[in-house]
A and B are shown apart, each in its own frame.
Chain A
Amino acid sequence: MSIFSKESKGNEKIRKDLESQLPQRVLDSMAENARKEASQKLRGRISMVVSLVVATGIWWLLAEYLLIHVPTPWETAYWSMAFLSDDWYYNSVLASMFRVYVGFGIGIVAGTFIGIMMGWNLRFRNWSFPAADLLRHVPPVSWVPLTIIVAGALTPAIVLIIFIGTFFSTALNSMLGVQLIDQSKFRAAKCLGASPVQIFRHVLLPGALPSVLYGMVLGMGLAWMSVVAGEMISGDYGIGYLAWQSYNLLRFPEIVLAMLTIGGLAYGSSEVVRYIVGKFLKWRDID
């Protein structure tokens, strides 16, 4: 393992030169640091496993001795085998995922566009921001009755509330992202002879990007909350509906399975968004 593990490849030669000039004592201490870093990483992984095991243990104790109606981990695992061989489960998962990704996709495109316009154009901001700021505080779930009336069918209605949640979080973060760009960067670009279109493309967009992407990460979290709430209230299928229906059918382990599934899907989706975000923000890694 290289002692300059985070340096870019272009600096490889410099690193070698540097290393050859350093006294052994310094090299040793650097290697020692690298070892420490590696063992810290390992410890991080171990503690993650321990934390999950402990959480499961607490769940088991509670379910076994205190909250006797709650299924224990083993019961959940046992019954899950049966549920997992049923198409209903997979169809529910797919339905929810479809709703989330469609709503999220449309939401971030529209939200980014409107948000950047709000940051870019003062008049547009003055007209649109007060309304947007007010509507943002309406919880996505409370849009459900209205969206069903408007959309007629259920899936479009749920997609619509996901769209609403994602839209506001991306729009307001994008606007903020534009506003937070240091004015001297625009001035510098003008000095260097860039046209307004070039400034938009090379200064405004990349400058606002961190905030835009952060809005998307938040939006993904909101999207999963909205889909589950929407499906519980008025679903016909979907993972939220499955959880609620399992309650009606007294299939308690299935409730837990649905909950864990929702958690896993939301976590996974957020991680994917976060990973993609990281790809775009390489310039912020300064180790």
Chain B
Amino acid sequence: MSIFTEQDSKSGKLEKTGKLTVKNATKIYDPLGVNVLAVDNCSLEINPGEFVAIVGPSGCGKTTLLNMVAGFDTMTKGEIHLDGKMIASPTTKLKPGPDRVVVFQHGALFEWKTLLDNVTFGPVMQGLMSKTDAEKKGMELLTLMGLEEFAKTFPLGVSSGMQRRVEIVRALMTNPKIILLDEPFRAMDTLTKTIVHQYVLKVQEITKTSIFFITHDLDEAIFLSDRVFVMTTRPGRFKTSVEIPLPRPRTTKIVSSKEFIELKNSLFDLVHDEAVKAFERGERELAR
């Protein structure tokens, strides 16, 4: 595949990069003088090229963890390293960057730019590529995602499934070491979701980018990932992690396989317990 050209080999893309290490990440929020422990002592490691999902009930601190990795949120305790370089700790300055690009829950395309201009935004802003080169690479990636016809369309003119695919392309354009997916498929209908999943798998197969994927949907977590972490309800801790040994490339057929169902059953109880706890606490908080 010619998507990754000389530039990429210079920037070290062909070596295995994208090892994310989160050590004892802790986050205490302090709104109105009341300490809220949002993320409690979470540690995980994502190997280069690995697809890791974090599953947990709403409000459990998944997104907070992602925000700390992304550099949007300070840490109260702990350290985060990316390929051995410290990217976050309680004392480092917040600094989001193109080495770890986020794909957002509600989408964050620039509606005033065409899909192609959105996609070329990163490399052009950073001055890494000329506009023409960036557009060439962008068109290749858009084609891979089945979007080449819409390159000159504005985001509001395409469906949400397409928008999210464009966003993934936009993230890939800066050759990130890791992509952080913050429940990007949440608002999609099931059919659109399965299509976007296929594209995500395809792209990951080719680019071998590490992916840190947050979701509350167990099926998509198992379907896409190499490993799934289950997070407890607030304060968010890792309850367990499960390897997903399903063979790749994965197709939608796998969802009905015996292994898939067994994995789902074993994880379901764990996730369900937490969801019930979160729900009950919500009821209590409401009743108070």
A residues near B (Cβ < 8 Å) are 8, 10-11, 14, 182, 184-185, 187-195, 198, 202-203, 206-207, 209, 282-284, 286
Is the CB–CB distance between A191 and B97 below 8 Å?
yes
Is the CB–CB distance between A286 and B122 below 8 Å?
no
Is the CB–CB distance between B104 and A193 below 8 Å?
no
Is the CB–CB distance between A8 and B152 below 8 Å?
yes
Is the CB–CB distance between B157 and A286 below 8 Å?
yes
> A192 CA to B109 CA in the complex, in Å?
12
Within 8 A of A (CB), among B41-77: 70-72
Chain B hits for A209, CB < 8 A: 112
Residue among A184, A193, A207, A282 making CB contact with B122, cutoff 8 Å: A193
- Given that A10-B152, A14-B149, A187-B72 are contacting pairs, would A193 and B126 also be in contact in the complex, using a CB cutoff of 8 Å? yes
Chain A hits for B260, CB < 8 A: none
Q: Which residue of the partner chain A has the closest CB to B96?
A: A190
> A286 CA to B72 CA in the complex, in Å?
32
> A201 CA to B156 CA in the complex, in Å?
21
Q: Could you write out 17 A-B pairs with CB less than 8 Å apart?
A: A10-B152, A187-B70, A187-B96, A189-B125, A190-B97, A191-B97, A191-B100, A191-B171, A192-B101, A193-B174, A194-B121, A194-B125, A202-B113, A202-B125, A206-B110, A286-B156, A286-B157
Is the CB–CB distance between B108 and A182 below 8 Å?
yes
> A183 CA to B189 CA in the complex, in Å?
25
**Chain B: number of interface residues, binned into ranges:** 20 to 34
Residue among A187, A203, A282, A283 making CB contact with B104, cutoff 8 Å: A187
B residues near A (Cβ < 8 Å) are 70-72, 96-98, 100-102, 104-108, 110-113, 121-122, 125-126, 149, 151-157, 170-171, 174
Is the CB–CB distance between A206 and B157 below 8 Å?
no
> A191 CA to B151 CA in the complex, in Å?
22
- Given that A192-B125, A193-B174, A207-B112 are contacting pairs, would A283 and B152 also be in contact in the complex, using a CB cutoff of 8 Å? no
Is the CB–CB distance between B112 and A283 below 8 Å?
yes
- Given that A182-B108, A284-B156 are contacting pairs, would A195 and B149 also be in contact in the complex, using a CB cutoff of 8 Å? no
Chain B hits for A11, CB < 8 A: 149, 153
Residue among A10, A188, A202 making CB contact with B108, cutoff 8 Å: A188
Residues of A contacting B: mostly: helix
Is the CB–CB distance between A195 and B125 below 8 Å?
yes
Is the CB–CB distance between B106 and A191 below 8 Å?
no
Is the CB–CB distance between A187 and B149 below 8 Å?
no
- Given that A8-B153, A10-B152, A286-B157 are contacting pairs, would A192 and B98 also be in contact in the complex, using a CB cutoff of 8 Å? yes
Is the CB–CB distance between A202 and B121 below 8 Å?
yes
Is the CB–CB distance between A188 and B102 below 8 Å?
yes
Chain A hits for B106, CB < 8 A: 182, 184
Is the CB–CB distance between A185 and B110 below 8 Å?
yes
Is the CB–CB distance between B110 and A203 below 8 Å?
yes
Is the CB–CB distance between A191 and B112 below 8 Å?
no
In whole Å, how far is A280's beta carbon from the nearest beta carbon of chain B? 9
Is the CB–CB distance between B154 and A283 below 8 Å?
yes
Closest 8 CB pairs of A and B: A192-B122, A188-B108, A206-B112, A193-B98, A283-B154, A184-B108, A193-B126, A190-B96
Is the CB–CB distance between B97 and A193 below 8 Å?
yes
Is the CB–CB distance between B154 and A282 below 8 Å?
yes
Is the CB–CB distance between B174 and A192 below 8 Å?
yes
Chain B hits for A184, CB < 8 A: 104-108
> A8 CA to B157 CA in the complex, in Å?
11
> A11 CA to B154 CA in the complex, in Å?
13
